[in-house]
């Protein structure tokens, strides 16, 4: 995770930088608002720690600039750092587009927890299945429903028709227990003959072999059915 610190105080910037490097984050720094905006465009950070009291531009104005021009800067979460405290400045920071606020002197333990929470939210959001314009994403698995093309870790995956239909159905119904008979009726329909549902076990096995992430995330509920988990 890449974090940009926009802070004019060398001491504050250094203290935050050292703490976050020890946590395993990659750190970029800027001393002014203008430099910070350039760093955003060039380095594309995942999170911004933004001092409100910068020498050239008010931190909240920078926050508004980023929030109002997402196509230019990207949708990057921002934590405002301020020497001011109280509900009014905190509310103003959030209204400007920041995701969180922390006052000076900075409680490093609190800041560390805030960043961990934001990182967790970002990971959870990224790992959720997104179905947009007939396109499904699940971790590093991508399904184009229009062309019926499937990619795992940017490599094409060849699936048989029923394997493809079962995969799409499970990704659209993640975290929901799907009973064996339900899957058979949904995927095999009129081709389903009671007593021949072992075909689904074969299909699941093939999917797990072709798409490694399913080995951990596609769970078998013995005697019941299957469930595709959003988290492993």
The 10s digit of each residue's pLDDT in 153-196 is 989 999 988 899 999 999 999 888 999 888 988 887 755 555 45
* CATH class assigned to 130-228: mainly alpha
CATH superfamily of 2-127: Response regulator (3.40.50.2300)
For residue range 96-132, list pLDDT tens digits in order. 888 889 999 999 999 999 998 888 777 655 555 555 5
Which residue ranges make up each domain of the chain?
Answer: 2-127, 130-228
Residue recorded with tokens 């990057």: 76
pLDDT exceeding 90 applies to what percent of the chain?
Answer: 54
Confidence of residue 197 (pLDDT cuts 50, 70, 90): low
The percent of residues above 70 in pLDDT, for the chain, comes to 91
What are the φ/ψ torsions at residue 69 (nearest 5 degrees)? -130, 60
């Amino acid at each position: 995770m890449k974090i940009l610190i926009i802070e004019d105080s060398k001491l504050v910037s250094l203290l935050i930088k050292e703490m976050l490097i020890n946590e395993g984050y990659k750190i970029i720094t800027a001393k002014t608002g203008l430099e910070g905006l350039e760093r955003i465009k060039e380095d594309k950070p995942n999170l911004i720690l933004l001092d409100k009291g910068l020498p050239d531009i008010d931190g909240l104005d920078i926050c508004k600039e980023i929030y109002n021009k997402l196509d230019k800067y990207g949708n990057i979460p921002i934590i405002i750092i301020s020497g001011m405290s109280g509900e009014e400045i905190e509310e103003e920071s959030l209204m400007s587009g920041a995701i969180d606020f922390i006052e000076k002197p900075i409680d490093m333990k609190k800041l560390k927890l805030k960043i961990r929470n934001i990182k967790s939210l970002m990971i959870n959001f990224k790992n959720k299945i997104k179905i947009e314009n007939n396109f499904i994403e699940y971790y590093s698995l991508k399904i184009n429903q229009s062309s019926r093309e499937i990619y795992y870790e940017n490599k094409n995956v060849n699936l048989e028709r029923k394997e493809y239909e079962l995969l799409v159905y499970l990704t659209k119904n993640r975290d929901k227990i799907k009973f064996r008979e339900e899957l058979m009726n949904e995927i095999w329909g009129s081709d389903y003959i009671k007593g021949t549902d072992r075909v689904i076990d074969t299909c699941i096995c093939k999917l797990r072999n072709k798409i490694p992430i399913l080995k951990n995330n596609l769970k078998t509920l013995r005697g019941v059915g299957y469930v595709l988990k959003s988290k492993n």
